[in-house]
Amino acid sequence: MTTMTLNAGSAVTAGDQAKNPAAEQSVVKTKAEILKTVGKPLCDNAKLRMRNVNVYYGETQAIHNVSLDIGRNEVVAMIGPSGCGKSTFLRCLNRMNDTIEGCRVEGDLTLDGEAIYGPKVDVVPLRARVGMVFQKPNPFPKSIYDNVAYGPKIHGIASRRAELDEIVENSLRRAGLWNEVKDRLDKPGTGLSGGQQQRLCIARAIAVSPEVILMDEPCSALDPIATARIEELIDELRENYTIAIVTHSMQQAARVSQRTAYFHLGKLVEVNDTETVFTNPEHELTEAYITGRFG
Ligand SMILES: Nc1ncnc2c1ncn2[C@@H]1O[C@H](COP(=O)(O)OP(=O)(O)OP(=O)(O)O)[C@@H](O)[C@H]1O
Ligand SMILES: [Mg+2]
């Protein structure tokens, strides 16, 4: 492992090397090499393909040249210190960044080979295919039932009451909330506890049978029992779906994901099989993070 940081400005130039032959011997990386992600960022059966993604908030660049595939039936965990760009990157995948004033996304992003940012893409069906669960639960100001039934209704997945009832019950069961709410389905979703609201939002996300689910720290407001239920659900959903999950819990990343992506200062430093990332990381920055030296 080298002692280089990701700061491109610290790269030694060819001119410097000529003046200092010792530097030539040392492991000096060029800017392009420093930006390169180590490990296995790409895969053969990609559902989502992201290439050379740059994201800006006004003048400030938050994501630098990130390329990553997320495979079918795969869970990819995204980890890294606060502010490194995990949420920003996740939001690119279903164009949630479109809703943030001054946010600009560059690069090639495809879902099943189709451009996510294509001029003809309608974001409403896109967000049904690529659902999202946010860190802070955001139930609609509607009943528990309607929170879950809303998506299937507007996307024409179900219209008859019996069909909707079945989707609502099934989604709430899978999110581990059914038993707590089955007798109060007509009560407001906002009247639930924080952890219950989060499970309601997860039920709402899966009710439209998305192909991809993006989860941004979905368990940060949940107790260990609800967390275990959601982790089981993630494993179950993987049989049919593709999942990207941001988490601050390395144990959770290790439990639910097949590959783990480590972000640092807006750059994707390393992507590897989850076990490799946590037992034998390739990059020193990943190692520093997982051993708790920063983050
Ligand atoms: N709406 C916004 N406007 C301006 N800058 C933003 C906005 N959202 C995020 N940023 C900046 O972009 C960078 C990445 O933020 P992001 O929220 O993606 O990080 P994160 O890895 O999800 O952090 P955390 O673990 O704390 O959630 C940060 O420097 C942040 O300040
Ligand atoms: Mg975040």
pLDDT in tens, 76-102: 999 999 999 999 999 999 999 999 999
Overall number of domains in the chain = 1
- Residue 221: both structure tokens together: 């407001």
Is 218 a pocket residue for ligand 1 (Cβ < 6 Å)? no
Task: Report the separation in Å between the CA atom of 63 and the middle of ligand 1, taken as the mean of its atom positions.
Answer: 10
- Residue 105: both structure tokens together: 């996304």
Task: Report the separation in Å between the CA atom of 1 and the middle of ligand 2, taken as the mean of its atom positions.
Answer: 29
pLDDT in tens, 251-268: 999 999 999 999 999 999
Task: Report the separation in Å between the CA atom of 213 and the middle of ligand 2, taken as the mean of its atom positions.
Answer: 16
Beta pairing class for 60-71 and 259-264: unpaired
Residue 15 in domain: no
Q: Is the pLDDT of residue 60 over 80?
A: yes
Residue 151 in domain: yes
Is 222 a pocket residue for ligand 1 (Cβ < 6 Å)? no
Rounded CA-CA distance 11/7 in Å is 8
Q: Atom 16, ligand 1: which residue's CA is nearest? A: 85
CB atoms within 10 A of CB 203: 28
Structural domain including 271 reads: 34-290
Residue 27 in domain: no
| Residue 7, SS3 per DSSP | coil
**Mean pLDDT within 20-35:** 53
Task: Report the separation in Å between the CA atom of 143 and the middle of ligand 2, taken as the mean of its atom positions.
Answer: 28
**What is the per-residue pLDDT for 51?**
97
Q: Atom 3, ligand 1: which residue's CA is nearest? A: 57
**Mean pLDDT within 42-70:** 97
**What is the per-residue pLDDT for 31?**
54
Residue 252 in domain: yes
Residue 26 in domain: no
Q: Is the pLDDT of residue 6 over 50?
A: no
**Structural contact between residues 218 and 198, judged by C-beta atoms closer than 8 angstroms:** yes
Phi-psi region of 217 (alpha: psi -120 to 50; beta: other; left: phi over 0): left
pLDDT in tens, 191-214: 999 989 999 999 999 999 999 999
**What is the per-residue pLDDT for 36?**
86
CATH number at residue 125: 3.40.50.300
Residue 20 in domain: no
Mutate-to-test residue for ligand 1 from 53, 82, 88, 294, highest number of ligand atoms within 8 A of CB: 88
Residue 88 in domain: yes
Residue 96 in domain: yes
Statement: the pTM of the whole predicted model exceeds 0.85:
yes
**What is the per-residue pLDDT for 221?**
83
- Tell me what percent of the residues of the chain surpass a pLDDT of 90: 79
- Residue 268: both structure tokens together: 């994707």
